[in-house]
Structure formats: C-alpha cells, structure tokens
Amino acid sequence: MEGSETYRVPKLKGSENYESWKEDITSALKAKGLWMITSGKLEKPEIPDPNAATAAKREYTSAVNHWKDKNDRACGMINFSIEQGPRIHVGNIEIAMWAILKESIRTVGSYYSTPGN
C-alpha cells in the first residue's frame, strides 16, 4: 500500500480534537500499512541467542531493519500530525509514543488547547 498517496490529517491540538484526530490518523496509518506497529501488534524482534546460527542472526537483522523502518515511518506520520504542545510528550521515541500520547491527552486534557479553536 505504499505509494505517493497523501493523507490529510488535521493536527492534534489537545483533548478537544483527540477523538477525531485518532480516527483520522488510525485510518492513515492503516492505509500505509503502519497500524500493526503503532498498535503494538508487530513487536520489535528479540535479539537471538549469541550462539544462534548465522542464518538466524541474518534473519534477525532483516526483521529488525524491517521493524525499524516501519517504526520510523509511523513515528514520522504521528509527529507531523501533532501540534507543538502535545508533541513534547512523545519526542522522537519508538512507537511507544502512541500509548504515551493517548495517556497524556487523557491526563493533561485541554491544557494544549488554543483559545478560540
């Protein structure tokens, strides 16, 4: 599903638009094949035993590179769809940002709301 499609997702401002933002960004991530990693269903591969066969180590390297690529793309999409205020909670961390952002919006609420928006 990767290609040049662009998905316009209104930026997350805070609790006032979290639910609609969540629906939009979830749809965009699914369309780009990035939802499994965002939701945590595609977990980062575990490092093989140091005594594992060379083929197993190569397989791990390939799997972890695939995971990192998807993670980077998902993090980028999410970061580009968040206003500066809420973004301080997620920074440049791995995909755990989804869970952190969700909890931050619930606890901080409309702290980041812009008057009149």
pLDDT reading at 5 higher than 90: no
pLDDT reading at 103 higher than 60: yes
Per-residue pLDDT of 65-80, as tens digits, reads: 999 999 889 988 988 8
Please give the Cα distance from 61 to 83 (Å, whole number): 35
**pTM of the complete model beyond 0.75:** no
Residue 1 confidence (pLDDT): 43
Please give the Cα distance from 69 to 76 (Å, whole number): 11
> Are the C-beta atoms of 77 and 92 separated by less than 8 Å?
no
Per-residue pLDDT of 16-58, as tens digits, reads: 999 999 999 999 999 999 999 888 888 889 888 888 888 888 8
